[in-house]
Amino acid sequence: MLYREAGDFSTTYPQDSQTFPIKFDRYRYYAVLAIAFGIIPFVINDYWANAVFVPFLIYAIAAIGLNILTGYCGQVSLGTGAFMAVGAYSCYKLMTAFPEVSMLIHIPLSGLITAGVVTLFGLPSLRIKGFYLAVATLAAQFFLVWLFNKVGWFYNYSASGQISAPERDVFGIIVTGPNTEAWAKYLICLLFVTACALAARNLTRGMTGRSWMAIRDMDIAAEIIGVNPLKAKLTAFAVSGFFVGIAGALFFSVYLGAAEVGESFGIDKSFLVLFMIIIGGLGSIFGSFAGAAFMVLLPVFLKNVFVGGLGWPTDLAAHLQFIVSGGLIVMFLILEPHGLAQLWRIAKEKLRLWPFPH
Amino acid sequence: MPDQLLFAMEVTLNGLMAGVLYALVALGFVLIYKASGIFNYAQGVMALFSAMTLVGIMDGQIPFAHLINAMFGTDLHHFGWHVPALAAILLTVVVMVVFAWLVQVVIFRHLVNQEPILLFMATIGLAYFLEGFGDLMWGAEIKKLDVGLPQGINDWIDLTTFETFGYGFFIDNLDISATIVAVILVAGLIVFSQYTKQGRALRAVADDHQAALSVGISLNYIWVLVWSVAGFVALIAGIMWGAKSGVQFSLSLIALKALPVLMLGGFTSIPGAIVGGLIIGVGEKLFEFLIGPMVGGATENWFAYVLALLFLVFRPQGLFGEKIIERV
Amino acid sequence: MKLTTLTIAAVMAAGPVMADLVFPSLSYRTGPYAANGIPFADGYEDYFTLLNERDGGIGGVPIRVIECETGYNTEKGVECYESTKGEGALVYQPLSTGITYQLIPKATADGIPVHSMGYGRTSAKNGQVFSNIFNYPANYWDGASHAVTHILNENSGDISGKKIALVYHNSAYGKEPIRTLQELSGKHGFELMEVAVDHPGQEQKSQWLQIRQQRPDYVLMWGWGVMNQVAIQEAANIRFPMDKFIGIWWSGSENDVLPAGDGASGYKALTFHNLGKDYPVYADLQKYVVDAGKSAGAGDQLGTALYNRGMYAAMLAAEAAKTAQEISGNSDISPAEMRAGMEALEITQAKMEAIGLPNFGPTFSVSCDNHGGDGYGAVAQWDAGAGQWSLITDYYQSDQSIITPLVEEDSAAFAAENAITPGCS
């Protein structure tokens, strides 16, 4: 009843091939955009921006990137952390080398550089598959972290070995550095998230996306029906790298402001993003958002309940937090192996029939 | 002999020893992967948890003391007894068997026939859970683990090599005992899987689940069995590594040392884990010794992975892995 | 999300109406470094509890410690900072290099002081550039110089031709002393050998084989976490003379030496505060905190090196707050007044005596030009038989002629990068 496809007639080709062909989806999408752009920036404060929204948005981009590689193309990667570091360090080098250029150019450029690096590390995927590939991407993880730590050029030979984001603006609005307003941080991330999500959605609906999915489902069969595995796999690595690079650049410049490669872009990050797409749902853009929201909000929520609400000692709360998040992840996998996105699909099915279940 | 050559020989020998320690961790992965297709990321945390349990039992720590104290305002810490190492090890094995059974009943029975990546994620969830649970149960401080293994330089080797070459080699006694334990362990595993009923059933399951089911082998039983054995292997690895650094959170990170070994040796082969461990151990130590000083050192972490990657490019299933046969 | 809002609202509502002095404690009682985080956090909190119970706070205003668990994780640290700064936090002790670097620009923009005691960015010593960051009483570069001076003293002032190895955690933290040591090796003519250990440092066979083969006369260590325990164990294994093995203060806690047992006896570590519990303040702690059942954590850390360090940090914060109250004439001080108090802080023997911690740390004074104290430190040695650390030297000053130019250079670079005009307000 509430959610229905009936009565929604497409009379032109553009109408039929628009991003959200179903009316309800479209309106929901407009509503989300309206709230995200029109309301939240006016009410957001430092805490909500830094603890919830900015990390959520940035992780959503990274999750979309990894979802393209893992969810759509079936190539498991455990190198996301290091690939984000590539984005972060290229962004840092660009910001310090060309201070007058807008961040709106630096960030996509960092994405492009990352895409190149990730494609390079994607080359073994043509030969190695499954878990062997996953573990092989760990080579990228450890090597890149070591490289950024060792070669002084990457951090401009600073004595501390850390990179810190200088103040840069977009059309006169400061978006990096300590004096950034909460809403400016939020909006720049939102801008990139919207662009990335739209691009990803349309890529996955088209020829490229279909060839990725063919490779995922059975690469030999895909090759036989004429999908070029070299092209499909490497484009997936490149596109994924582009998104992950953007996420890394934003993560460093807008969210953290200062970073050290081993600590901020370690292997934990790779696992975290992988968790997001599994919990959210493999092969779903919505799932990437849901997973990111879940993994960002869960610890904050649990902490507030245990420490703020129940007044427990922080260490007990932190241990319990581990237990609860681990338990929840396992529970989720058991109850709904296809992630939050599948729950959403089921909800839509129910809504279609509601209030007449038969 | 020139000094450099002697040094290189010493490094190689130590690399072999380190390789044995890596292989000990890798063995646990192989066992579970072979029998159930689960890539068990929690193996490292299992090593930590079993070592914590061992120390806790040996020292007579009260489990969950901190939690109980916080809830009831009591001041409990120790039972006040000390359990001898061997008895404590046996008790820990019992704990690991119970753990294996719980893991099987609560988690993996519900995930049969899911995609490998989901199983993998479930083990990461399990790892998180166990990390928090272990800390809550036994406390987060660093504990000294002493089951009576000798540690420190082996004087006999030092003296003999000094008399022969004019330079005494350093070999750690702990590494020697680890090697002996590893040999016994692998021999035991081979005997177990070749000559016992359970072992044969285990191999049957590893070959083909459905065929094994059809001849009346209980998959559940085998999986509990294999998780228990993996728990036992984790305990051995935990003892060896814990003796070096004390029992502490970072012990769980040894899993990362075992992954390149697995890649190289193949996920499904026990000899592969051993040979892979030795190759990685020697490879990373020699690289650090020869090339490390030129590029600034600390290369071991990534070099192990790159080495494994190079091998994989030529043999995508690892050195000893089963040939991957793909059909459309 | 709704529930979160509710919870936060509940916390806000439950917040106090009375004036109080808020000291957030960004602790790490979980994660890979928990063993080090627990005693520090306990010491920090217990000292404030003592002040509350015994003196009714500082200058009559009660103290509120908000503990927030970071797990040594930068992002959680940021979350902790954002969630506590609104409560009127007076000073932050970030307790991790990563979080410190995060907070340097953020806290400066928010006008809240940060005290990174013996860690963080060394050049923050230059208060003209880093207006809100304090790192008294000593920093890593001081530490490097302390170690070399100690070696000089042991060799009656001549170490030319000697070989000193630095075993370091391959991260920003571990690389800190390299520059200073290079300068010092130029000055004193010793040979420096750098040995990097990658995180986490569980396997250090190649590094210690290298040391065994090259036979340095001394080994310095900048280690953290599991790396410390393994390094000390390996040093004992290769029979390196432990009294020639000197660690930085973060490699000098009971946690680091206990796993190696008797082999660790004689190991030395630098420190900038005294060790053990032989101080009058411990009687008060026992009476007002422990016996009253108000101790933080499990209450079993009293007297450990890191507990003392946490207590020392709390003591310095409390003294700075007192100074701030005197300057502003206002007992319920604001973060800005706290900053002024920290900048005017002076620690004298008489003050430490009055608190019940006679000769507990070096005497020093802070000024706008110098946020880092005078660079005094001492060397402690571990006695495995007695199971305790003891100071084996007096507090002595680092080689300022080497360190001052380095601080100038690095802070100038930071000022240029961030468009800060150095100066005192």
pLDDT in tens, C46-76: 999 999 999 999 998 999 999 998 888 888 8
| Residue B134 CB-half CA count within 13 A | 35
User: Is A159 within 8 Å of C74 when comparing Cβ atoms?
Assistant: no
- C121 vs A146, A160, A307: nearest CB: A160
User: Is B326 within 8 Å of A150 when comparing Cβ atoms?
Assistant: no
Which of A125, A135, A146, A307 is the best residue to mutate to test the B interface, defined by the most B CB atoms within 10 Å of its own CB? A135
Coil, helix or strand at residue A98: coil
- Cα–Cα distance between C383 and C264 in angstroms, integer? 8
- Cα–Cα distance between A348 and A357 in angstroms, integer? 13
Residue C386 burial (C-beta neighbours within 10 Å; 0-12, 13-18, 19+): exposed
pLDDT of residue A1: 56
User: Is C82 within 8 Å of A146 when comparing Cβ atoms?
Assistant: no
User: Is C170 within 8 Å of A149 when comparing Cβ atoms?
Assistant: yes
In sequence order, the β-bridge partners of residue C382 are C389
pLDDT of residue C7: 44
* pLDDT at residue C1 greater than cutoff 60: no
The chain-wide mean pLDDT, for chain C, equals 90
| Structure-model confidence comparison of residues A330 and C12, the more confident one | A330
Tokens for A189? 């991330």
Cα C380 from chain centre: 15
- Cα–Cα distance between A355 and C377 in angstroms, integer? 76
- Cα–Cα distance between A264 and A254 in angstroms, integer? 14
Rg for chain C (alpha carbons), in Å? 21
User: Is C69 within 8 Å of A303 when comparing Cβ atoms?
Assistant: yes
pLDDT of residue B179: 92
- Residues B213-229 have a mean pLDDT of 91
Band of the pLDDT at C2, cuts 50, 70, 90?
Answer: very low
Contact C55, C248 (CB under 8 A): no
| Token pair 């191999």: residue | B203
Instruction: Lowest mean pLDDT of B109-113, C35-39, C376-380, name the range.
Output: B109-113
The chain-wide mean pLDDT, for chain A, equals 89
User: B303 to chain C: nearest residue by CA?
Assistant: C198
User: A263 to chain C: nearest residue by CA?
Assistant: C98
pLDDT tens-digit map of B49-58? 999 999 999 9
- Cα–Cα distance between C406 and C183 in angstroms, integer? 10
- Residues A298-318 have a mean pLDDT of 82
- A325 vs B128, B136, B295: nearest CB: B128
Nearest 10 degrees: Cα torsion C187, C190, C196, C197? -120
* pLDDT at residue A277 greater than cutoff 60: yes
- Residues A293-314 have a mean pLDDT of 84
- Residues C29-52 have a mean pLDDT of 92
- Cα–Cα distance between C160 and B220 in angstroms, integer? 69
Over the range A172-198, which residues count as b (16 or more CB within 10 Å of their CB) and which as e?
eebbbbbebebbbbbbbbbbbbeebbe
Nearest Cα of chain A lies from the Cα of C339 at a distance, in angstroms, of 19
- C79 vs A51, A161, A262: nearest CB: A51
| C373 contact A CB<8A | no
Tokens for B74? 């009591």
User: Is C78 within 8 Å of A264 when comparing Cβ atoms?
Assistant: no
Coil, helix or strand at residue C373: coil
pLDDT of residue A181: 87
Chain B residues close to A221, C-beta within 8 Å: 328
Proportion of chain A above pLDDT 70, given as a percent: 98
Contact A137, A128 (CB under 8 A): no
Instruction: Lowest mean pLDDT of B12-26, B69-83, B206-220, C205-219, name the range.
Output: B69-83
- Residues A129-143 have a mean pLDDT of 87
Nearest Cα of chain C lies from the Cα of B105 at a distance, in angstroms, of 28
| Structure-model confidence comparison of residues A312 and B283, the more confident one | B283
pLDDT of residue C169: 92
Note the ipTM here. 0.90
The chain-wide mean pLDDT, for chain B, equals 89
pLDDT tens-digit map of C5-19? 444 444 444 444 457
User: Is C82 within 8 Å of A47 when comparing Cβ atoms?
Assistant: yes
* pLDDT at residue A278 greater than cutoff 90: no
Residue by residue, DSSP assigns B218-284 as -HHHHHHHHHHHHHHHHHHHHHHHHHHH-B-GGGGGHHHHHHHHHHHH-TT-HHHHHHHHHHHHHHH
Instruction: Lowest mean pLDDT of A40-44, C183-187, C336-340, name the range.
Output: A40-44
Handedness of CA C233, C234, C237, C242 (dihedral sign): negative
Pairing of strands C114-115, C63-69: unpaired
Alpha helices in A5-99 (DSSP H): 13-16, 23-34, 40-43, 46-47, 54-66, 80-97
User: B318 to chain A: nearest residue by CA?
Assistant: A132
Proportion of chain C above pLDDT 90, given as a percent: 67
Note which residues in 208-247 of chain A have CB less than 8 A from chain C: none
- Cα–Cα distance between B196 and B193 in angstroms, integer? 6
pLDDT tens-digit map of A67-115? 999 999 999 899 999 999 999 999 999 998 998 888 999 999 999 999 9
Contact B147, B62 (CB under 8 A): no
User: Is A330 within 8 Å of B126 when comparing Cβ atoms?
Assistant: yes
- Residues B144-166 have a mean pLDDT of 87
- Cα–Cα distance between B172 and B154 in angstroms, integer? 6
pLDDT tens-digit map of A242-268? 999 999 999 999 998 888 888 889 888
Percent helix / strand / coil, chain B, rounded to 5: 75, 0, 25
Coil, helix or strand at residue C166: strand
- B254 vs C34, C202, C229: nearest CB: C202
| B301 contact A CB<8A | yes
Amino acid making up residue C395: Y
Neighbouring chains of C at 3+ CB pairs under 8 Å are: A, B
Over the range C267-282, which residues count as b (16 or more CB within 10 Å of their CB) and which as e?
bbbbbbbbbeeebebb
| Token pair 């494609």: residue | A119
* pLDDT at residue A146 greater than cutoff 50: yes
The dihedrals phi and psi of C52, each to the nearest 5 degrees, come to -65, -45
Contact C230, C205 (CB under 8 A): no
Neighbouring chains of A at 3+ CB pairs under 8 Å are: B, C
Contact C69, C79 (CB under 8 A): no
- Cα–Cα distance between A156 and A99 in angstroms, integer? 14
pLDDT of residue C425: 67
